[in-house]
Amino acid sequence: MTTFPTERAVRTTPEGLLWEPGARWVRGRRGEVTVVDSRRPVLVWEPDVPVPLYAFPREDVREDLLRPAKNPATGTHTGSRIFYDLEVGGEVEENAAWTFPAPDLAGHIAFEWFGRVGRGPDHWYEEEEEIFIHPRDPHKRVDALASSRRVRVEIDGTLVADTVRPVLLFETSLPTRFYIPREDIRVDLLFPTGHHTGCPYKGTAEYWSWRDGAAVPPNIAWSYPDPLAAVGPIRGFLAFYNEAVDITVDGEIQARPVTPFSRALSERT
């Protein structure tokens, strides 16, 4: 009989890295060239970095495309001293790959993700699904649930949204986000900014800013016009940063949470 672990199979290295074997078939491409093709990826979490990355057995990597880095980016990854430049089609991506010093990860090569830092393979796939920005954390959930709670949003004392048909998005380690139908929002008080961000769990977001008041951070609201299937119910709805607006749920004012976004929002005002 096959048995499975009931707890996270995470290992710790002396350098403070966390890692565990992955079960997904992962490929990374630069343009049309496959740089890595592995059914034995390893997920690695670096200290104080909230998202994981992948490291791969050397035999699953096109090492003929790697060159010893001309300007090694020492200090950018935990304990790493060996970096590689990636050369594909005559174009060189500096410090696109590296090795970790941990004995547990000997024989593995990690890669940057172009969508996150602007270098490295620019297309990544888990099985046949393209993924973006960084690997999905297998210990993180993102659930989008339709609700009948009454949600009101105020910005600088002005009522901007009032709905009884929100979609609540629950994402591990982040506050609940309240996605609201546009029909229930004073969209005339907002304007699109052209700003976009990517999320491996939700897709590509577009943003809106507040028309009145310099004290309100720009890009205060966002929407996913074409979300990934797992969070399909948020399609086209708008959400606001709980950290910078006043949200009331069923008559109860919500405290403004402190999150990794709080500092960036305060610096925008």
> What percent of the chain shows pLDDT beyond 90?
82
1, with CB counted inside 10 A (0-12, 13-18, 19+), is exposed
Phi/psi of residue 175, each to 5°?
Answer: -65, 155
The string of pLDDT tens digits covering residues 100-118 is 999 999 999 999 998 888 8
Sheet with 190-199, side-by-side order of all strands? 190-199, 203-210, 221-223, 238-240
The string of pLDDT tens digits covering residues 152-203 is 999 999 999 999 999 999 999 899 999 999 999 999 999 999 999 999 999 9
Helix (H) / strand (E) containing 20: strand 18-21
Higher pLDDT: 205 or 49? It is 205
What's the angle, vertex CA 261, arms to CA 243 and CA 7, rounded to 5?
A: 105
pLDDT value at residue 74 = 87
Three-state DSSP class for 254? coil
Phi/psi of residue 64, each to 5°?
Answer: -70, -15
What fold characterizes domain 11-131? 2.170.150
The string of pLDDT tens digits covering residues 57-96 is 999 999 999 999 999 998 899 989 999 999 999 999 999 9
pLDDT value at residue 6 = 46
How many Å apart are CA 214 and CA 199, to the nearest integer?
28
pLDDT value at residue 91 = 94
Does pLDDT of 2 surpass 70?
no
pLDDT value at residue 222 = 98
Query: What is the CATH class of 142-268?
Result: mainly beta
pLDDT value at residue 214 = 66
- Asked whether the domain spanning 142-268 has the same topology as the one spanning 11-131, the reply is yes
The string of pLDDT tens digits covering residues 23-34 is 999 999 999 999
Q: Where are the domains of the chain?
A: 11-131, 142-268
Higher pLDDT: 143 or 263? It is 143
Structure tokens at 205: 């977001």
- Please tell me the pTM assigned to this model: 0.85
pLDDT value at residue 215 = 85
The contacts of residue 120 (CB under 8 Å, 6+ apart) are 28, 30, 86, 93, 96, 97, 111, 112, 113, 114
Q: How many Cα neighbours within 13 Å face the side chain of 206?
A: 12
CB distance 168 to 147 below 8 Å: yes
Residue 69 region by backbone torsions, left for phi larger than 0, else alpha for psi between -120 and 50, else beta: beta
Structure tokens at 56: 């791969």
